Amino acid sequence: MERLQKVIANSNIASRRKAEELIKNGLVKVNGVVVTELGTKVNKNDEIIVDGKKVEIQEKTYLLLNKPTGYLSTTSDDKKRRTVLDLVKEDYPGVRMYPVGRLDYDSAGLLLLTNDGDLTLKLTKPEFLVEKEYIVRVKGVMLKKTIQDLKKGVKIDNDYLAIAKEAAILSVDKENQSTLVGMIITEGKNRQIRKMMDKLGYPVKNLTRVKYDFLTLDGVKRGGYRELTNHEVKKLHANQVKR
């Protein structure tokens, strides 16, 4: 059983707040009866009509995708560019999913897709400080001092102080003048790592997210995906507490 406004929001008919307004205004019917009380519980067998439109209750889907570069982390694009949903739509036709957070067009690695709005909200709220680990190849031979600069914080986007929770030089390629860096961040600013590295004089050549909270890419090839287990979903919910 789930709250009516949550079911409506998860069906992508309206936001949670808009769903509550629709219920209060008498525009929602459950099994032919107008419902105006917020918090009313429904199940998958109930018929729900919102302003004359039937709500299709979908089961929760949770996918761990190994995103290739060249795909947008969005549900659609007005320029007809490829999105991450193009990678899964054949196996999940008609399932309305969306990416959790960002992984930009030129970046690769671990990205979650789901239709669970509650979990998405938990994973993307900044106060929950979800750890995201990246492997980053940058131009130039990085100085050890730069690692401390990343941990102290780098100002981006109109003086926002972006901080690396952890950072380390993994290897240096002097011949090709590049450095491989490992980083963990808990923030989710758009192109954050690229902007931090640019500010410090080490433009990013390629970037891969290898870990999200406790989840890794083990066993998932580039462009592939797998469903999360029930245990993993429960653990993701349980891990998200304010720090």
> Looking at residue 34, what is its pLDDT?
96
> What is the distance between the alpha carbons of residues 111 and 69, in angstroms, rounded to a whole number?
12
Which fold is adopted by the domain 2-54?
Answer: 3.10.290
Residue entry with tokens 């299709």: 56
pLDDT in tens, 51-88: 998 987 778 899 999 999 999 999 988 998 999 999 99
Which of left, alpha, beta for 94 (phi over 0: left; psi -120 to 50: alpha)? left
Statement: residue 6 has pLDDT above 90: no
**Single pTM value for the model:** 0.83
Q: Give residue 81's pLDDT.
A: 92
Q: Tell me how far apart the alpha carbons of residues 103 and 191 are, in angstroms, rounded to a whole number.
A: 8
The model's pLDDT over 92-145, given as tens digits with 9 standing for 90+, comes to 988 889 999 889 999 999 999 998 888 898 898 888 889 999 999 999 999 999
Same fold, 2-54 and 62-126+220-239: no
Please name which of 201, 200, 205 lies closest in space to residue 178, comparing C-alpha atoms.
205
Alpha-carbon torsion, ordered 30, 32, 36, 42, to 10 deg: -10
pLDDT digits (tens, 9 = 90+) for 191-239: 999 999 999 999 999 999 999 999 999 999 999 999 999 999 999 988 8
Q: Count Cβ neighbours within 10 Å for each residue of 63-102 and write b for 16 or more, e otherwise.
A: bbbbbbeebbbeeeeeeeeebbbebbeeebeebebbbbeb
Q: Quick one: 131-212 is in which CATH superfamily?
A: Alpha-L RNA-binding motif (3.30.70.1560)
DSSP string across 54-96:
E-------EEEEEEPSS-BSSS--TT---BGGGGTTTTSTT--
What would you measure as the largest C-alpha separation in the chain, in angstroms? 73
Residue ranges of the domains in the chain? Answer: 2-54, 62-126+220-239, 131-212
Question: Among this protein's residues, is 46 annotated catalytic?
Answer: no
CA distances from 225 to 67, 136, 141, 180, 205 (A): 9, 22, 34, 26, 25
Active-site residue (options: 104, 118, 149, 198): 104
Beta-ladder partners of 58? none
∠ CA 143-145-146, nearest 5°, is 70
Cα(52)–Cα(106) distance, integer angstroms: 42
CATH 3.65.10.10 corresponds to the domain 62-126+220-239: no
